[in-house]
Amino acid sequence: MKYWLLKSEPNAWSWNDQVKAGPSMWDGVRNYQARNNLKKMKKNDLCFFYHSVTEKKIIGIVQVTKEFYSDPTDKSGKFVVVDVKSKFELKKPVSLEEIKLNKKLSQIALVKQSRLSVMPISKTEWLEIIKISKN
């Protein structure tokens, strides 16, 4: 199993939208590196659901339910989607500020490549963020 972080602007697609929708398509990615990350996702991989722009915090966890396929919203045919479903909301959201202040997370892509919308998370980083969310 691998771990990921998916970013979404809460005014476009929020955690509450994801929960209400059930299993749904993660679409709209128009960055090649993010697309390549979507292509690497496997069924049952876990992803942090991150509210970007206004909130800048990890809200919950989603699970990949269907591996990549062509994004029906992309007329060029170059981009892909995966399907995800909500697993659970974090007891305490984890802010970008908390992540930046944690030395164990200094190499996380969220800090190093702040504009990337789909990024891998190492198991060590995943466990550290889960730990923060429980405090």
Distance CA 85, CA 22 (A): 6
The full length of the chain comes to 135
Task: Report whether CATH 2.40.50.140 matches the domain 3-134.
Answer: no
Assess whether pLDDT exceeds 90 at residue 135: no
The span from the CA of 95 to the CA of 102, in Å, is 11
Q: For the chain, what is the mean pLDDT?
A: 97
For 54-113, write each residue's pLDDT tens digit.
999 999 999 999 999 999 999 999 999 999 999 999 999 999 999 999 999 999 999 999
Q: What is the mean pLDDT of residues 12-37?
A: 97
Where along the chain do its domains lie?
3-134
Strand 57-70 and strand 46-51: pairing? antiparallel
- pLDDT per position as a tens digit, 31-44: 999 999 999 999 99
